[in-house]
Structure 1
Amino acid sequence: MRKACFLLLCCLLYLSIQASDSLYVQLNKQTFKKGDTLDFSCVIPDFEKVKLNAASLHVWIDHISTGTRWKFRYPFINGEAQAALVLAKTLPDGHFAVNFLVQKGYFRLSGQLKDKFEDENNINYLMVPKNKRTYSETITLNKDGFFRLKSTLFEDSAYFVFSPVKKNAKNNLNVSIETPLDSTFIPEMESRIWITVGNQKRPMNKKDSAAYAFNMISSSGTDLLPNVTVVGKYKKKVEQYDDYYSSGPFKRDEAMIFDGIEDATMAGSMSILRFLEGKVPGLIIEKDQESMVEMARWRGEPTEIYLDEFRVSPQDIWIVSPSDVAMVKVYRPPAMLSPLSGAAGAIAIYTKRGEFAGKNRFKHSFTVKGYTPAEAVWQ
């Protein structure tokens, strides 16, 4: 009797250990039609005990037939992550492996200032998340120029700009960055659930799952750039830039466009707003008497300012050097580029990127992916 009780106690202890080291995943269903919503919940039992107070969930969905992979990621809050994915009409039919992978830590950005001067101990940075307030800070460099920013939670993406503490006519910082969430990692925990999308002639079976081999590195089809269509009409570089990087309401034809790629006038200006002074009828550039920050006003009201289509405040754009700007688009009142738009127009500033960055060896601005919104589209 005592031996049986001892074995039962050992068995219960083993099960409790297994539970604390497992990732619990729940889906609303396993067979979906286009337009349905895939709801899931992931729980890390005893997340404090296993030292996963700060953790991120990667959801990698593989199409078994083609190997195409879709990637999403979410923060764990108190050991739990919940989200919903709406299935787009363009998704292929078939069987899918939904892989849930736990990575220790939240989003954190680290980097290095290359070619650091001996007395250069600090640099500024500006973080511009989509649809949220911007954040700026002065950070300390170690003797080799390395730095690390605070752990941050933000959805979609954010724009980061680094600049010298002392403002110069040109930003000559050369910065490299990396984020742990985008690096190769070994999952702390993982789980997999099979789902079916669309009308399949036969259900998922053991042979299908046995033929699937999960690979942390393998990814097919979703990280490729879209095909480039070549047209016969010649376009200036700023027009090509506008076609490629402008999106949504920013594509409106009535905007006044100023070229910073082939025209050197902008690069020689003291600031972007001073460059626009006198060039746009009705736009007034003046310094705020309290903050001494340059302000753009139209009809006496503050004009909206966007940096790479992220809304920013006037005091934030001083960190962007005019020589780093590829294009400026000015929209007359009422601009109505966002639900919060007023009637005082808007200025959209676009930085040099990709093939339009030229031969400048200095890199100090980056668009970085954050977490997937809690409600997103799988497409």
Structure 2
Amino acid sequence: MNKLLAMVCLGFLLTFQSTTKAQVLDSMMEVYANRYPQEKVHLQFDKGAYNKGETIWYKAYLMTGIDLSYISKNFYVDWYDGSGNLLMHTVAPLFQATASGSFDVPANYSGNKLEVRAYTRWMLNFDTAFLYHRNITVIQPQVKTSIAIPKTQVYLFPEGGNLVNGLNCRVAFKATNQFGNPVFIKGAIKNNKQELIDSFMAEHDGMGSFSVEPKAGETYQIYWMDENGQSGTTALPTALPNGATLSVQPAPDKAILFVERSANDDPLYKTMYLMAQMNQQLVYKSRINFSAKTSVVADLPTTELPTGILQVTLFNANWIPVAERIVFVNNDNYSFQPRVSFPTVNLSKRGKNTIEFFVSDTAFANMSVAVTDADVPVDDKHSIYTDFLLSDDIKGKVYNPAYYFSSNADSVVHHLDLVMMTNGWRRYNWADLAALKTPAIKYPPETNFLKIEGKVYGSNNLGGESSFLNVIVQGKDSSKQFLVLPIHRDGTFEQDGVFFYDTVKLFYMLNGKRSSNSGAVVSFTNGLYNLQPRHVSINSTLTNWSDSMALRRMQYFMDEQERLRKLMASATLKEVTVRAKVKSALQVLDEKYATGLFSGGDSYGFDVMDDPRANSALDIFTYLQGQVAGLQINMSGGTPSLTWRGSTPDLYLDESPAQPDMIQSLPITDVAYIKVFRPPFFGSVGGGSGGAIAIYTKRGNDGKKNYNANTPGLDNTILGGYTRFKQFFNPDYEKSTDAFGDDVRSTLYWNPFVLTNKKSPQVKLDFFNNDISKKLKVIIEGFNADGKLTHIEKVLE
């Protein structure tokens, strides 16, 4: 976290006096913030519910506090069925703190939900209760399910954490059923003498509050009845004989603090301290002199704070926490607003539609857009706002979090404060901080993408100058790369900067000897987190779609998709004419040389070996001059400079980063193939806002040394890489409508990477309607380089 939050003071409280313990807590909080930042996750899905056999597309966003997170390079998503069985463990590379992927719902899936858990390996070092998880509805038509008997549970939460005899305390409550969904209750509070203390009633989504002043020798219970007529009792926590309480009341531009202590002479409560932090940053600290008073009321200004959860802690004279409370600060300073327009709207069958984005901010923006049939279910209860600003920072389920961002009305603010009082949060272990104890880090941050690493067993004389492992990496497209990996004295070896999807085959030998004759055993890993399949406890909460029209619409799409599937399966082909499309020379070169994110893509290709112009070019840059529209190459001054759309393209030599002088000195006669990627190029670490130029040198039968992976005696193994995800298919009906069958897609368009910057603030996107939709819903989410968020919903009709 690099952003410095303003220090806020309580004006009428006595000035702060430093103590050794206070300094320890200060320094340890800074250590935690700098060395152990907490990552948070949001996933945008293309829609809110799915049929069997459909593809789920997602875009992942990562933040630490109010900043984009660049801690991790790899992102993991685990897909579980409703019983907690792992269906698939996927991994995707992170670019600009984002990743994208997909998951196919099995065609024979019988459950009515999936659970998604998403995280980075760094996040596994901390409280796993804060890992992202979300239930996804799978529509199962014509399946009768038994209605579970509701079971209401009531939870009580004294404000600040404890009741104290003789001190008035507000107690919040939350009533839920066994699925975590809210239940309305009402009732009364009685003491152990069955005397009525007060009555209560839920105010919003099963939540409410009441006040009680405990007395010595008394215990208390609430007697409640729920909306189904069931009744029960819940005991209040036992009150402490003496101590202090903390109450916080949110208000415009401030939080009103009320601190009260027991009326005794305990020196631990004659001097007390208040500390507040947000996003792991200390924003307030003060000392309270209670020698002549038992209560204090003060205003904590919040106008300079970012939007989010503020944690306030009350300490006694020995800096031991006695009360803690969180409060939500909403300064409406968390968003940016792209200008979205629709120059072309055509909702006829296969009609063309156009979306235009314009972002006036100069900061780089990274967004995703989903267009669906407007009558199918969408997840309107969660958004990038609700996850990053609320749900990711508290424990437990927040029912319909979008409601709390729908308005700044006093009622909504009050209801959100009930959420603050009835959910757990990211707590510091103050005892650990005071003892200078830091978290145990089992999983270091993944600062690289893939690796080829491992260990050699059973071989002597390792670690010398001649200890190398020769490896040939062969992709599924038969592309090959030769690596020479130094072996350390402990037998380990590693190669960073590897990038591939699916799997590769590794052929290897030790020090020029066939490993089968050396007696050595070599193990390989890709450096990624390897989840061991296991049964997990699934959050049983599930969004119940009460919108019968939406369910009927999903049923219609399912029936149409099933009809087309059966029609295709039963079709009799009387005469089949097979026409094979001959691959172009550039396609052959691309399959031979380009791998991973360098293969395919929106690019220009140049067959340098068979281009007569290469014979007269002084170097690669003079060869490319004038060949690519928009790419400017300036050769004045000796070292060439390149610009494209206001940014500098990244250079790669055989898919490894290179500098202009290195490329300029490369004889063009050694070059086989050049690819120029239009901006942005996601194979670049920085996001590739200026595109990229990839130069491939000759290999194999092009005249370079041919490393033969099929040489007899070479040991080999298979190594997995990133999960290969589906690409969303966007048909182009302007070119041809006869080449496609019936179009019954419920997701009309999905684009996980819509990028803008100062030089390119505008983006234009085209998509086509299906055969049946008459109304479309557009949802846009994203963030910019300043950590501002956006969420936009539009309906086309």
Q: TM-score range by the shorter chain?
A: 0.3 to 0.5
The higher relative CO (CA closer than 8 Å, separation ≥ 6) is in 1
Normalised by the length of structure 2, the TM-score is 0.20
